[in-house]
Amino acid sequence: MEPDFWHRKWQRNEIAFHEGRPNALLVRHVDRLSLAAGSHVFVPLCGKSADIGWLMARGLRVSGAELSRDAVDQLFADLALEPAITRAGSLTHYRAAGIDIHVGDVFALSADILGRVDAVYDRAALVALPAMMRTRYAGHLTRITAAAAQLLICFEYDPSLMDGPPFSVGEEEVRSLYARDYALSRLDRVPVAGRLKGTVEATESVWLLERREV
């Protein structure tokens, strides 16, 4: 997707993808990541997700990557935090106690900037990208996080019925993107309440990705 697509979405408040509450599958399955207090969770393409505050309330340190500065300003306002804002190359770094958000192109984010990652939570990143970008994204995410354990949430639906985002990403594609570096387990699969965008029947799946030992 072109950056302007997402900037327009946030400027027009066209954010139906924003749940406004912690994701039920995250709440149900986060313990499968076995994270101790103070562990670092990376949330790519995070928007102003309520999941971030929920993770922080569990004593976890959260970082994110987000293209829209509007989204990040709203996130910090929702968290009632005043960030310190600095530049890191082409990225803008928002920092406060327990949280670091990198504003800009996720592909500009490096392992050096991100630091050690204990787990990844991807609810809105992989499914936001068209097929031609998903392979690049999955490889980049694996590299910059050193294949940290991951909770990945995907939608599945008949793509002839709706244009994404969010895009339909099924089991075959998840395995083709990640099976080389991770052992994959689908933990849950549930119907999307009220249909996706109110029109298309869909399911929501949560996957656990655990790094393969070399």
CA–CA gap between residue 178 and residue 1 (Å, rounded)? 21
Per-residue pLDDT of the chain (214 residues; tens, 9 = 90+): 455 554 455 445 544 554 678 999 999 999 999 999 999 999 999 999 999 999 999 999 999 999 999 999 999 999 999 999 999 889 999 999 999 999 999 999 999 999 999 999 999 999 999 999 999 999 999 999 999 999 999 999 999 999 889 999 999 999 999 999 999 999 999 999 889 988 999 999 999 999 997 6
10 is in an annotated binding site: yes
Task: Name the β-bridge partners of 61.
Answer: 40
Tell me the CATH class for 3-211: alpha beta
User: How do the domains of the chain map onto residue ranges?
Assistant: 3-211
Model pTM score: 0.92
Residue 202 has a pLDDT of 96
123 is in an annotated binding site: yes
Residue 188 has a pLDDT of 97
β-strand 61-66 against 119-122: which pairing, if any? unpaired
Concatenated DSSP letters for the chain? Answer: --HHHHHHHHHTT--TT--SS--HHHHHHGGGG-PPTT-EEEEET-TT-HHHHHHHHTT-EEEEEES-HHHHHHHHHHTT---EEEEETTEEEEEETTEEEEES-GGG--HHHH---SEEEESSSGGGS-HHHHHHHHHHHHHHTTT-EEEEEEEE--TTS---SSPB--HHHHHHHHTTTEEEEEEEEEEPTT-BTTTB--EEEEEEEEEPP-
210 is in an annotated binding site: no
Question: Which two three-digit tokens encode residue 164?
Answer: 């994404």
Residue 7 has a pLDDT of 43
